Amino acid sequence: MTDKQLDPDLPHWFHSSYVRVAALTVLGLIVSAPFVVHGSDSGLLAMFNAPLMWIDRDADARQEFNAFIDLFGSHDMIVVSWQGCVIDDERLDQAADAVREIQTQRESAGKPQLFNNIFSGNTLIDSLTSMPIDLPRQAAIDRINGILVGEDDQTSGLVVELTEHGAFKRRETIPLIQNAVSDAIDIPIDDLIMTGPAIDGMAIDDESSRSIQQYSIPSILISLVLCWVCLRSVWLTIPIIAVGAWAQGFMLASVYYGGETMNAILIVLPALVFVLAVSVGIHLANYFLEEVDLGSGAKAPSRAIAKATGPCILAALTTAIGLASLCISDVEPIRQFGFLGAVGVIVCVVLLFLMLPGFMVIWLHVSEKRGNTDSLNAAPANHSPQKDDQRSVGHPLFAFVANFISRYSVIIRVSCIAAMIAFGFGLTRLRTTIDVVSLLSEDNRVVQDFHWVENNICPLVPIEVVIHFDHDSNVNPIDRLRIVAAIENQMSQIDVLQGTMSAVTFVPSFPRLTGLGSTIRKTVFLRQIEQSRDELIDSHFLAETETGESWRISARVKGQAEFDYGQFLDSLQSKVDFVLSNAEDAGYEGISSSSTGMLVLVYRIQKMLLKDLFYSFLTALALVAVVMMIALRNIPAGLIAMMPNIFPTLVMFGAMGWFEIAIDIGTVMTASVALGIAVDGTFHFLKWFIQSIKNGASKESAIKIAYERCGGALIQTTVICACGLMIYSFSGFLPVRHFSWILLMMLVTALFGDLVLLPALLAGKLGDLLERTGESLATLTAPLPDPDSPQSTTNQHSEPN
């Protein structure tokens, strides 16, 4: 159907193919909206955070942890206590019995078991002070001090070890424990103190979901108001914000429909995609408004799209490259973040190019209909687009700043390069953290309970050492226990390690095996070990397999303690190796060891995060540099033009290194993201500089024109996106809070790089190179054929009243 065959009663502007495409795009967004809403809501409800799931199944750390679970069945533990809970508190037994009753009922109903082991300070003391161990009470308390009894030798609690199924079904498991204990001891649930990896994980799930649910709509509204203030047009603001809002839901829905599980890393993705959508939209709208000011009339949409296509596509491509570089990560959620982010950027750009031109045509029609035709008319037939491109349309302040930068360009270049070098050295001091205390705010009840238990009962971060004795090992049962005891003793000498428990905890003290009566004492001790064997297996400190025996040493480290995990693990391994080496020297064979636990997983993930930050940024930098060199058709110019894009990352992450601010999962992706955002402004600035040079302007004039043409758009983009992100700084989920602050500061430093460092470079060697290059980005902005040629219209920048 041609335009002439369309309904003649329709307004002439509806005949525009731009409007028809925009109408179909809007219809598509409306039709898909219910599916997007359902997918995003379902994805948030299915939120599940567990460091174990962040590591590839084939990774050594995960295989070792899975092997540990297969041997001992222990996965996570939950510590339950309350104010005034001591080892002689009868309510401890009542609470333990209530939880065991849940286990019994589930077993009768044929349901999977949620709990692996249940014990309290009271039950441990009873076990240690009765036969066959028969320790004095104080000796028994000393054995479990720092394990389930506080430094006051009184404060205690209940430990519930979860099975793998119980840990995975924590939203079912935790309320069952809460209700059972609360009913048994007649204490309100809110007065119970509960902590442990499962509790922490569920709190992270809730806080991260709440961040999106509470702050996404205010963020959109803030951006909408600021966008309207900057563009002064509802017709331009609505499509930009609509695409950004739809893209937020699309990102969440993609996780759900893709069969993946939402996690704390992906939770910042919607906010990022919204920022990128607004950034592209603002630039497109400003190209159009500029054409309006130049008197392009009905040609304004087509001329704006023609000029914007090259730099916008290049900016989108480089941003997608920056995000896609995260796909090399060893941490699964970061790979997902990179892939989905790259897809989201491309989708947003496509939608904006489909929608905005149609709304531009409608804007022109509304302006004409309301009589806003007295300031600018369609460009006369003899007007020159090249001359239009040289006309001043920006604020006079831009010309002043451009002249200032051109005059003092050498000082600016030297100062910025010196700052980059100084901050760059700070990168060597970067450290990461994913501790629970670093993910939730201090006023969160879970963090408060975590601190209370660590301060009053025991450390909570587990480290597990397993000693393996082969089936044909020549080590007898007593010496096996002595080796375990020696390793446990060596471990206790590590300062940050404050509590250990092993099979040695649950057997009598070692007898003197020399002198008169040693044979009898040895025989009695062997019998006691054999009597305790079933109890050791049931308490999951001894495991028998076809290949031999495995003896577990469970230790705890304070989650609040600040120390080098790598140094700690190296020290731990050296202590274990020292004992095993002595055993080998004594002629014992068939002994090996392994270590795992949450602390090991956290350390491995932290190492991965730093490696990902480094390699993904280098990958993105290399690929973006190639795109820049191709776009500028000059290798040295492309390399120099990358300096403003590296500037934000070096300054921000270098500062974090110097000030010893740890990187968490919310900030590790921002380096590659900032690179893409900075390149966005760089391409737009270079486009105008090169176009002006091509049209015969000097370097100084070209800088001034570039400043006037895109300086306002760059500032508008930064202000709108920064203010839209600010609302997330109130989030109780710290990675989202940190992501918003870091990205906000990245936006500001990227703006500095594009509006200060880049012009200073263009006033020097970079400008000389581009003067000799001639074409390049300018060839991407040749006017496109006008698909409609509607009637000439005129307008003003403000929305018609």
* Identity of the amino acid at 285: A
Written as six digits, the tokens of 461 are 């971060």
Predicted confidence at residue 380, as pLDDT, reads 45
Predicted confidence at residue 673, as pLDDT, reads 75
Residue 186 pLDDT level (bands cut at 50, 70, 90): very high
User: Tokens 């796909």 map to which residue?
Assistant: 327
- Give the span between the Cα atoms of 624 and 622, in whole angstroms: 6
Residue 474 pLDDT level (bands cut at 50, 70, 90): very high
- Give the span between the Cα atoms of 618 and 751, in whole angstroms: 21
Residue 599 burial by Cβ neighbours in a 10 Å radius (0-12, 13-18, 19+): buried
pLDDT mean across residues, the chain: 84
Structurally, at CATH architecture level, domain 3-45+202-437+604-779 sits in Up-down Bundle (1.20)
- Find, among 665, 653, 672, the residue nearest to 745 by Cα: 653
* Identity of the amino acid at 522: K
Residue 616 pLDDT level (bands cut at 50, 70, 90): confident
Query: Structural domain boundaries of the chain?
Result: 3-45+202-437+604-779, 74-191, 473-589
User: Tokens 């910042």 map to which residue?
Assistant: 268
3-state secondary structure of 81: strand
Predicted confidence at residue 786, as pLDDT, reads 45
Written as six digits, the tokens of 232 are 């002064």
Choose between 747 and 800: higher pLDDT. Answer: 747
Predicted confidence at residue 774, as pLDDT, reads 52
Residue 259 burial by Cβ neighbours in a 10 Å radius (0-12, 13-18, 19+): exposed
pLDDT over 90 for what percent of the chain? 33
Residue 801 pLDDT level (bands cut at 50, 70, 90): very low
Predicted confidence at residue 562, as pLDDT, reads 67
pLDDT over 70 for what percent of the chain? 89
3-state secondary structure of 596: strand
**Is the CA virtual torsion 739, 741, 747, 749 positive or negative?**
negative
Predicted confidence at residue 749, as pLDDT, reads 92
3-state secondary structure of 776: coil
Written as six digits, the tokens of 787 are 């698909």
Q: Does the structure show a pLDDT above 60 at 611?
A: yes
φ and ψ at 511, to 5 degrees? -80, 165
Q: What are the CA-CA distances from residue 269 to residues 249, 254, 342, 731 (Å)?
A: 10, 11, 10, 15
Mean per-residue pLDDT, 651-675? 81
Q: Does the structure show a pLDDT above 50 at 11?
A: no
Predicted confidence at residue 50, as pLDDT, reads 79
**Partners of residue 440 on adjacent β-strands:** 733
Q: Does the structure show a pLDDT above 60 at 716?
A: yes
Neighbours of 257 (CB within 10 A): 15
Polymer length in residues for the chain? 801
- Give the span between the Cα atoms of 348 and 693, in whole angstroms: 32
pLDDT, tens digit, 9 for 90 and up, residues 507-523: 887 777 666 666 787 78
Mean per-residue pLDDT, 186-213? 90
Predicted confidence at residue 785, as pLDDT, reads 44
* Identity of the amino acid at 667: T
- Give the span between the Cα atoms of 447 and 560, in whole angstroms: 10
pLDDT, tens digit, 9 for 90 and up, residues 31-77: 999 999 999 999 888 888 877 777 777 777 788 888 888 888 766 88
pLDDT, tens digit, 9 for 90 and up, residues 124-135: 888 888 877 788
- Give the span between the Cα atoms of 689 and 771, in whole angstroms: 10
**Is the CA virtual torsion 606, 607, 612, 617 positive or negative?**
positive
242 CB-near residues (< 8 Å, 6+ apart): 26, 29, 355
Q: Does the structure show a pLDDT above 70 at 350?
A: yes
**Partners of residue 549 on adjacent β-strands:** 469, 544
Q: What is the DSSP string of 467-506?
A: EEEETT----HHHHHHHHHHHHHHHTTSTTEEEEEEGGGG
Residue 435 pLDDT level (bands cut at 50, 70, 90): low
